[in-house]
Structures are given as C-alpha cells and as structure tokens.
Amino acid sequence: MLRDVAGSGQQMGIQDTTRLLYEMGRTYPSRIQIEELLGHIGLEGVRAVQAVRGLVEGGLVTAKGSACVGGMLGSELRLTEPGMAVAFGLVGVEGDPRRAISALEEQTLRQLRRHRESR
C-alpha cells in the first residue's frame, strides 16, 4: 500500500510516508499541525509535499483546515483507520491496511462469540 502511496519504487518516498505515519501514531488521537510534524522529523520541501499529499490521496490521513501549508491545503492531519493500521504496526509497508483491519475485526468477533458461548 505505501509503495503505491509513495510512488512506484521510490524508496525515499516510502521512508518519508512511513516516518510520517509512525510519528502521527505516537501522538494519536490528536490532530497534528503539518508544519510542526514536518519540522519535527526534518522533512521539508518537495519531499514533504509529496509525502503528505500521497498519504491524503491514499486515504491514510485526512487534512483539515483552510490554510495552505507548503503547497498543500489543510493545516492539520489526522490518521484514518487504514493509516492507524500502518502507524501501529498492524500491517507493514507492503500490506493492505483495509484487509488487515477486516481480518482483525473478524478475529475479534470470533473471540467474542467464543466468550459468549463459554458462559
């Protein structure tokens, strides 16, 4: 998934998007100011714009606010469910976060069903 978000075969793009997601996971559930986040991880310029835009377009984060920051609309970022799956290590860079979430939900429902039946 992140390979698609970062661009075909661009290792630097994958590293940038992964760093952004992991850092966002550390501060979850708070919204994150884009400028603050990018400054904290040392990402700037075109790479920053590409990484954030890729995450938004890939559905891993949402952008809120009306400010234009580094050529991007929005001043705050927030993780989506698929973004959380990657940020918290449920799925790796090459995985499909939506599929991983579905599998986790199915597993949880099976466990709940077993628990209910054991009472």
Q: Where are the domains of the chain?
A: 2-117
Report the relative pairing of strands 76-79 and 68-69 from DSSP bridges: unpaired
CB 107 within 8 A of CB 95: no
CA distance 42 to 36: 10
Q: How is domain 2-117 classified at the architecture level of CATH?
A: Orthogonal Bundle (1.10)
CA distance 1 to 28: 21
Tell me phi and psi for residue 23, to 5 degrees. -65, -40
Q: Is the pTM of this model over 0.75?
A: no
The C-alpha angle with vertex 52 and arms to 47 and 54, in degrees rounded to 5, equals 95
Q: Looking at residue 9, what is its pLDDT?
A: 35
Q: Looking at residue 21, what is its pLDDT?
A: 86
Mean pLDDT by runs of 10 across the 119 residues of the chain is 49 75 83 79 80 84 64 70 88 81 93 93
